[in-house]
Each structure stands twice: as structure tokens, then as C-alpha cells.
Chain A
Amino acid sequence: MKTALAYMQKILLQCVALCLLLSASTALMADEIRLPALDPKLAKISIVEPERDSGYTVGDLLTRVVTLEIKKPYKLLDTSLPIVGYEKRYQGQIIGIELRDISKEEREKADSTVYTIALTYQVFTRNVVAKPAALPPEFVKVQGGKDIYEYRIPSWNFRISPIAVFGEVKLETDLSPFRGPVQKTDKQERIILNAALVVLALAALGLVYILGVHAWLPRMGGPFARAYRELRKLGKLPASDETLKLGLGRVHQAFNASLGSSVFSGNLEQFLQQKPVFAAIRHDIEQFFDLSRRVFFEQSDAQQFGAEQHEWLRRFTRRCRDCERGLKPEKQV
């Protein structure tokens, strides 16, 4: 009898346990019932996502602002909004993304209501290499009359990045709690950058020199400047007809190089029109061509050339050089 009573107790307990189990499973099934989706024509959604989609690590906050416009008489149910502190899951596994804060604003329009929902999530996961993650989709409920519909706010993909480059930091060798975060050194890059800047500066200087027709400053190293240098060297030689001819010939070359074609007394006007900076010494230029004519073409025994002509030619060339540089030529003595 006692054994039968114990057996019945055991059977009764099993029945109670079975009933509890059945009621729990029924409640769970009721909770998983999917509501019909809201007609897309009745809602408009726009989302402002975080500015970047990579480089997040543990502790970072990501905020997305969802603007949902729902046609009247449909209304968003506040109770369907996601709950702060809920750990998001994917296929039953915690994904390390948690809703940290939520705010909601409503604005009524003539035939619709605009809901602005700011969702702030915090990352509670990390990895030694970059890995994909996502802010999960949220499902909110919309009521229209007696019916309730579901509306899906889409997910957003991003990448979770490691705190340090994999393998570069060995925490076991430096576990002092007083050290700041380990930073990557840029010393080598700075040396390379400085060296590149030096090379760039040298190349730019070389380019300036080449573009300046082998002169360091504008208007330097022109034909008359070169002729003047050579005339100063000639001045060290004893004055003679030959050195005077060499000097005159050198200045003729400078005139030709300056104009780009041969300059004679017959086309002096053309030269002055194209090179008006020389107009200030027109009289001297005419004197030069007169001297050149007497030396090269109209030689006579009566004409004697000496140091005076050499000195005049040197000064004349210097005045031409000044004109070439855009300076006011010194007065002829």
C-alpha cells in the first residue's frame, strides 16, 4: 500500500512537471508569433549612420538616428522600442553589441507622424585582427485601429578593429599599469620624409636654374651680363685693335642673342621696339654701331683706337646689362 502511494505521488509529480513544461512552451510559442509587416507605403524611413564604418573597438559608442514617418492613423507603439541594456544576439550567440541609450521625438504632420529615434550602441567585443560586425536590425510595432503590424529597422555593417597591430605589442613583457597606451613610433617615417623634402628642394632649385636659362635670379645671366663678364676678362689684356674687335664682336653677339636675330644699325628700331628697356641708352647704342662700323668696315690709317674705346665699350656693355636687368643704367662718363 505504501509502495502504491509512493508510486502515485511520483506519477502526480511527473504530471505536474509535464503541465508546467507544456504551459511554458505554449507561452514561448506565443511570444515568437510574427506579426504582419506594415505596408511599406505607409512608412518612410531614413537613417543617419555613424560617419565611419571601421576602426571600432571595445568601449566605442555608435549612434544611429532613425527618422520614421508613419501615415495616420497608424502609430508607433512605444513599448515596442528596443530596451536599453539588452545584449544583442545573433543565432542565439551574444555578439558584443549593446544598446546603451535611446531617445525618441515625435512630430505631428497633417497626415503623418514623424518619429526621430536616436539609438546609441556600445561595443563590447574586440579581436586581434579586423572582423565584421553589425548593428542589429530592430523590430518596432505599429498600431492601426485594432491591428498591430511589425516594422523592421535595417541592420548596419561595420568593422571592429584591434587595439594594436597584431604581434607588435607583447603585453607580457610590459605589464606596468603606469604606462600609457603603447604608441607606434614614426621616427623612421620622419627621417624618410625629411630626406624626401631635401631631395624635393634640391630638384626645385635645379628646375628653377634650368627654367631661368641657367641663372639663379630673374633677368640674371642674360646675354649682356655674359658679354660684360668676358669684356672684364679682356680688359686684363693689353689694349689693341684685336682685343677691341673681340670685344665689339662679343657685344654684337649679345645684341643678336637678345633679339633672337642679327641686329644691325639698319634694324635698330626693330630691336628697340621689341626691347624697350634699351630705349634709355639709344644714343649709346647708335655710338656703338658707329664704332663697330669704323673698326670693322671703314678702317682708315687715320683712325687710331686705344684704351679710351676699350673703356667706353666696357662701360657701354655694363649699361646694356643694367637695362637687361630692368635697372636704371648708370650715367655714361
Chain B
Amino acid sequence: MSDRQLADWREHALKLESEINKVVVGQESPIRLITTAIFARGHVLLEGDVGVGKTTLLRAFTRGIGGGYQRIEGTIDLMPNDLVYHTYLGEDGKPHVSPGPLLMSGEDLSIFFFNEINRARPQVHSLLLRVMAERTLTAFNKEHHFPHMLVFADRNQVEKEETFDIPSAARDRFMMEIPIVVPGDPAIREELMFNPKFHDVDALVGTVEPEVLEFDKVNGIARIIQNSIDASQTLRRYALDLWTATKSPELFGVQVSGVEMSRLIISGASPRGVGMLLSAARVNAWLNNRTAVVPEDIHAVFHETIAHRLVFSPVYEMRRTEIARELLSGIINGVSAP
């Protein structure tokens, strides 16, 4: 039965991918990674320059997944209670309290979209920590559950004014941090520039077939995927070596240009991080119609699941993106399997 379910759901997942690829062109790799995160039940943080299509991409996924969708914009004066409730004066002239974005859809909340998360204060990040980790929230003397909720967030690292760094504990809650870059293909660039279809985002997102997935059944299939896709002893040893290498890359002969390796890493990948890595690798194997995880499945998600979890010495933080890319490529090249 589960084999049949896995095959059917794979069809759905691939259809969702193709729907998104129709409206967001030249982003096949990020779309595959977000699909992977959805079925691995992991939160996603998109990072990229202004206007590269981060929000469009997430809105398109939201439409394809279905379920309750809430969105909030990160601003410097946003407070945690703005996520939970808001007050207003009603027509009757009396104050009213209505649920905020987190509570509005109740248990049907499928996607919580946090736009420009790095503009929100650390207090807001703190609230989000619990919601992301436990998918629960206590408000109005009641515990609210969001079993189907995924947090999609985006941030741009170009602007530094009136922004707050997301602490490493909050970053660790995200399964993936996916970089979005402008497509390099000149034909795609020309299409983005001259085809009016891509200029009206609302209309564009509206072309995505709604509710390709049944949002309330994704948790179930995700469990089946994790239980069905095998990981051999050799692969486990390989994954353990990768984990060790994120803490002590020098043991595997990994070098990064201009970096003193013994002083680079303060903290490597967390157990939660490598757990998410394997969950994502299993989903990648399933999407590629395999019954077991192979090293290539880990490679496909390694950078996006690990890079944002590494804590570097402050002296190297300014070159974080460049160093993380070179370090993780070095780890993949330096650790062998079998």
C-alpha cells in the first residue's frame, strides 16, 4: 500500500514542481529544494538580492500546496503580539480583539509566510522559534496547534540598515536556507524582461493550479517516506564523516583559501541539523524514484541544509557566504564514500 502511495504522491510532487517551474523560470534547483523541504516537513529561508523572485516563488508554492495561508511583513516595529492578535474599534464603537496571522487559519494553517524576516526584532524571532520547533502557540489561555504549518521566510542580505541578524538558534530551526540568484541563461533573462506575463505577479501566481497537494495529508506521506527510504551502513558512516567534517574539517584535509582552519569553526552542524539533512536526503531519493539514500542525495541538499547552521569565528563572519561555499565543497570533495 505504501509503495502505491509513494508513487502517487511522487506524481503529485513532480506536478507541483512543473506548475511552479511554469511561473518561476530558471529556478529549477531552488524549486526542487523547496519541494524537498515540503515533504521533509522543514521550514525554508530564502536568501537573495532584491527583486529576484523570492516572494513570487513562495506565493506560487503556497497556492500549489493549498490550505490556510497567512503572511506578515517584517518591520522594525513589529512585535510578537502582532503575530497572535490585533485590536481595533468596531462599528459599535467598542474595542475588539481578532486573531492575528498565526491564529487566523487555526489548525488548517499550511503556510506562514514571513516576508523580510531580518527586519523584525529578536523578540519576534524568539516567538517564531517555538512556533517553528513545536508548531504550537499558547494564547488566550489556550494552546493552539498548527500541525501542517510550514514557515517560508525570505531576507535580503544587501540591505543592512534597520535589520537584525537572525540568531543561530533561529537559523537552526530552518531546514534549508536557499540562495536565489538571477538566472544566467540569456534567453530566460530576455523572457523575464520582455514578456508581460512576468510583470503582473498576482496574475502570474494565479496561473498555478491550486491545491495540487492535499495539505493535510502531507504529514502522513512524509512519515511514510522517512520510514520507507533506506540508509545503508556505508551511507551512515559517510554521513557521520560529513558531520565530523563540519566540526573539524582539517581532519579530512579540507582547506579554505586565506583561512586558518583550526580557528574557523566555533560550532559545526547540530544533531537537529544533520537529522534534517538525512530527512531531506531521503525525500530527494524518493523524488528520484530510489528506495535508498545514496551519497548524491546528500550532496543535493548538503549545502542548503548545513551552510546556515555553521557558526564561524567573528573574524570570518564577514566572508560567511564565500567561506561556507568553499568549505562545504571541500568537505564533499574530501570525504569519500565508501
Residues of A within 8 A of B (CB): 245, 248-249, 252-253, 256, 261-262, 264-266, 292-293, 296-300
Minimal Cβ-Cβ distance residue in A for B330:
A261
- Known A-B contacts A249-B338, A265-B296; the reply to A298 vs B291 at CB < 8 A is yes
- Known A-B contacts A264-B299, A266-B299; the reply to A298 vs B292 at CB < 8 A is yes
**Chain B residues in 8 Å Cβ range of A297:** 232, 234-235, 292-295
Task: Kindly identify which residue among B230, B234, B290, B337 contacts A262, using a CB–CB cutoff of 8 Å.
Answer: B337
* Pairs across A and B, CB under 8 Å, 23 listed: A249-B338, A252-B338, A253-B336, A261-B333, A262-B335, A262-B336, A262-B337, A264-B296, A266-B295, A266-B296, A266-B299, A293-B294, A296-B232, A296-B338, A297-B234, A297-B292, A297-B293, A297-B295, A298-B232, A298-B290, A298-B292, A298-B294, A300-B291
Task: Kindly identify which residue among A248, A256, A266, A299 contacts B232, using a CB–CB cutoff of 8 Å.
Answer: A299
**Chain A residues in 8 Å Cβ range of B295:** 264, 266, 297
Of the candidates A252, A256, A261, the one having the most CB atoms from chain B within 10 angstroms of its own CB is A261
Task: Kindly identify which residue among B235, B290, B336 contacts A256, using a CB–CB cutoff of 8 Å.
Answer: B336
Minimal Cβ-Cβ distance residue in B for A299:
B232
- Known A-B contacts A266-B299, A293-B294, A298-B292; the reply to A252 vs B336 at CB < 8 A is yes
Minimal Cβ-Cβ distance residue in B for A292:
B338
A296:B234 contact, CB within 8 angstroms:
yes
**Chain A residues in 8 Å Cβ range of B235:** 296-297
B334:A248 contact, CB within 8 angstroms:
no
Minimal Cβ-Cβ distance residue in B for A252:
B338
Determine whether B129 belongs to the interface, using a CB cutoff of 8 Å to chain A: no
What's the dominant secondary structure at chain A's contact region?
Answer: helix
Determine whether B332 belongs to the interface, using a CB cutoff of 8 Å to chain A: yes
B338:A262 contact, CB within 8 angstroms:
no
- Give, as a whole number of angstroms, the nearest-CB distance from A302 to chain B: 12
Minimal Cβ-Cβ distance residue in B for A265:
B296
Minimal Cβ-Cβ distance residue in A for B231:
A297
**Chain A residues in 8 Å Cβ range of B232:** 296-299
Task: Kindly identify which residue among A245, A266, A298, A299 contacts B338, using a CB–CB cutoff of 8 Å.
Answer: A245
- Give, as a whole number of angstroms, the nearest-CB distance from B299 to chain A: 6
Q: A264-B295, A298-B294 are in contact. List 13 more A-B contacts (CB 8 A).
A: A245-B338, A248-B338, A261-B333, A262-B333, A262-B334, A265-B296, A266-B299, A293-B294, A296-B232, A296-B234, A297-B295, A298-B232, A298-B290
Q: How far is the CA of A296 from the CA of B292 in the complex (A)?
A: 10
**Chain B residues in 8 Å Cβ range of A264:** 295-296, 299, 337
Q: Which 8 A-B pairs have the closest CB atoms?
A: A261-B333, A296-B234, A266-B296, A298-B292, A262-B336, A297-B294, A249-B338, A297-B232
**Chain A residues in 8 Å Cβ range of B234:** 296-297
- Give, as a whole number of angstroms, the nearest-CB distance from B106 to chain A: 42
Among residues 285 to 323 in chain B, which have CB atoms less than 8 Å away from a CB atom of chain A? 290-296, 299
**Chain B residues in 8 Å Cβ range of A245:** 338
- Give, as a whole number of angstroms, the nearest-CB distance from A14 to chain B: 114
B334:A261 contact, CB within 8 angstroms:
yes
- Give, as a whole number of angstroms, the nearest-CB distance from A300 to chain B: 8
Contact with A along B270-296 (1 / 0, CB 8 A): 000000000000000000001111111
**Chain B residues in 8 Å Cβ range of A293:** 294
- Give, as a whole number of angstroms, the nearest-CB distance from B113 to chain A: 32
Q: How far is the CA of A64 from the CA of B290 in the complex (A)?
A: 99
**Chain B residues in 8 Å Cβ range of A266:** 295-296, 299
- Give, as a whole number of angstroms, the nearest-CB distance from A49 to chain B: 65
Contact with A along B161-200 (1 / 0, CB 8 A): 0000000000000000000000000000000000000000
- Give, as a whole number of angstroms, the nearest-CB distance from A164 to chain B: 68
- Give, as a whole number of angstroms, the nearest-CB distance from A9 to chain B: 123
Among residues 207 to 238 in chain B, which have CB atoms less than 8 Å away from a CB atom of chain A? 230, 232, 234-235
Q: How far is the CA of A333 from the CA of B235 in the complex (A)?
A: 31
**Chain B residues in 8 Å Cβ range of A296:** 232, 234-235, 337-338
Q: How far is the CA of A300 from the CA of B230 in the complex (A)?
A: 10
Q: How far is the CA of A13 from the CA of B201 in the complex (A)?
A: 152
Q: How far is the CA of A264 from the CA of B329 in the complex (A)?
A: 13
Q: How far is the CA of A87 from the CA of B230 in the complex (A)?
A: 114
**Chain A residues in 8 Å Cβ range of B338:** 245, 248-249, 252, 292, 296
- Give, as a whole number of angstroms, the nearest-CB distance from B279 to chain A: 17
Minimal Cβ-Cβ distance residue in B for A293:
B294
**Chain A residues in 8 Å Cβ range of B333:** 261-262
Minimal Cβ-Cβ distance residue in A for B291:
A298
**Chain B residues in 8 Å Cβ range of A265:** 296
Q: How far is the CA of A300 from the CA of B234 in the complex (A)?
A: 14
Q: How far is the CA of A253 from the CA of B296 in the complex (A)?
A: 17
**Chain A residues in 8 Å Cβ range of B291:** 298, 300
Q: How far is the CA of A238 from the CA of B141 in the complex (A)?
A: 70
- Give, as a whole number of angstroms, the nearest-CB distance from A223 to chain B: 13
Of the candidates A264, A265, A292, A300, the one having the most CB atoms from chain B within 10 angstroms of its own CB is A264
Q: How far is the CA of A299 from the CA of B236 in the complex (A)?
A: 14
- Give, as a whole number of angstroms, the nearest-CB distance from B330 to chain A: 9
Minimal Cβ-Cβ distance residue in B for A245:
B338
Minimal Cβ-Cβ distance residue in A for B290:
A298
- Give, as a whole number of angstroms, the nearest-CB distance from B250 to chain A: 16
**Chain B residues in 8 Å Cβ range of A249:** 338
Of the candidates A249, A256, A292, A298, the one having the most CB atoms from chain B within 10 angstroms of its own CB is A298
Q: How far is the CA of A248 from the CA of B332 in the complex (A)?
A: 20
- Give, as a whole number of angstroms, the nearest-CB distance from B55 to chain A: 31
**Chain A residues in 8 Å Cβ range of B296:** 264-266
- Give, as a whole number of angstroms, the nearest-CB distance from B139 to chain A: 46
Contact with A along B132-144 (1 / 0, CB 8 A): 0000000000000
**Chain B residues in 8 Å Cβ range of A292:** 338
- Give, as a whole number of angstroms, the nearest-CB distance from B280 to chain A: 16
**Chain B residues in 8 Å Cβ range of A262:** 332-337
